[in-house]
Amino acid sequence: MKSLRKMINIALPKGRLGEKAYGVFEEIGYGCPSIRETNRKLIFENEENGVRYFWVKPSDVAVYVERGVADVGVVGKDILLEQASDVYELLDLGMGKCRMAVAGKKGGRIDTDCTLRVATKFPNIAREYYRKQSLEIEIIELHGSIEIAPILGMSDVIVDIVETGTTLLENDLEPWEDIVSISARLIANKASYKFLNAPIRQMCEKMNEVITKKS
Ligand SMILES: Nc1ncnc2c1ncn2[C@@H]1O[C@H](COP(=O)(O)OP(=O)(O)OP(=O)(O)O)[C@@H](O)[C@H]1O
Ligand SMILES: O=P(O)(O)OC[C@H]1O[C@H](OP(=O)(O)OP(=O)(O)O)[C@H](O)[C@@H]1O
């Protein structure tokens, strides 16, 4: 007989974070073997374990969860801050650790007499950071390879993710100020958290156990 249990829909970020996060879901009993097959499919489900996974762009995870297409998802805190997503943040997964920082040319410094040109993929985080410092800025929004902007003189600084610091180092830049620490979070849609409360909480508790053991 077919199970009447509702599937939990999970949005996973494609790439470095998603693979790791899926490993944890698998470890706690929400595996979906077909997901390990290399193909271009984006949706995978395992009825037996009651889960359906979607592979989405990391910066889109919170959109799927906010709109309820996914009940839960895994997303970097950077995305949650940037998009001010209206979701519940259930758990710090302790992976995808990095930091948001201001960086500029080696040996340089901020000239407070001029409008500061800030190149970034995170305009809202950058605006909020400089608003608190009452500094006048101009945002130059880019979508990748941000480090190029100050090298070519297009910006004075960048606001970007720093993990190992290698990208800054290899481009003659250095971190000037740390803005916030970042890690991956388990998030839930607000309505799903109400109507699927028991299964989502159970999933969250199991994840917490695994993560605590690993840390
Ligand atoms: N070195 C790093 N660079 C970027 N993100 C990192 C890094 N280390 C950890 N992260 C975390 O991993 C998440 C996903 O990063 P990833 O680089 O896979 O996607 P992305 O390229 O930023 O996404 P998109 O393709 O949507 O622009 C980030 O949101 C961040 O929280
Ligand atoms: O401190 P590091 O370990 O060098 O990591 C930081 C780099 O990683 C990210 O870029 P990503 O690889 O996501 O590419 P992108 O330029 O397309 O954003 C980020 O934007 C930095 O460029």
Q: Is 98 in the pocket of ligand 1 (CB under 6 A)?
A: yes
Q: Is 163 in the pocket of ligand 1 (CB under 6 A)?
A: yes
**177 C-alpha to center of ligand 2: Å?**
17
Q: Which atom of ligand 2 is nearest to the CA of 162?
A: 1
d(CA 160, CA 71): 29
Q: Which atom of ligand 2 is nearest to the CA of 170?
A: 4
Domain with CATH 3.40.190.10 in the chain: 8-96+183-214, 98-181
The C-alpha torsion from 59 through 61 and 67 to 69, rounded to 10°, is 140
Pocket of ligand 2 (CB under 6 A): 144-147, 160-167
Question: Collapsing DSSP states into helix, strand and coil, what is residue 157?
Answer: strand
- For residue 131, what is the enclosing H or E element? helix 123-132
**For 8-96+183-214, which CATH superfamily applies?**
Periplasmic binding protein-like II (3.40.190.10)
Is residue 206 exposed (0-12), middle (13-18) or buried (19+ Cβ within 10 Å)?
middle
Which of 10-14, 37-41, 142-146, 179-183 is least confident? 37-41
**76 C-alpha to center of ligand 2: Å?**
14
Q: What share of the chain is helix, strand, coil (3-state, %, to 5)?
A: 35, 30, 35
Query: Average pLDDT over the chain, rounded to whole?
Result: 95
Q: Is 161 in the pocket of ligand 1 (CB under 6 A)?
A: yes
Q: Identify the residue whose C-alpha is closest to ligand 1 atom 22.
A: 58
Q: Identify the residue whose C-alpha is closest to ligand 2 atom 19.
A: 161
> 103-160 pLDDT, tens per residue?
999 999 988 889 999 999 999 999 999 999 999 999 999 999 999 999 999 999 999 9
Q: What is the DSSP string of 63-115?
A: HHHHTTSSSEEEEEHHHHHHHT--SEEEEE-S-S-EEEEEEEETT----TTSP
**58 C-alpha to center of ligand 1: Å?**
7
Q: Using alpha carbons only, how large is the chain's radius of gyration in Å?
A: 20
Specify the CATH number of the domain 98-181.
3.40.190.10
> 29-75 pLDDT, tens per residue?
999 999 988 788 999 999 999 999 999 999 999 999 999 999 999 99
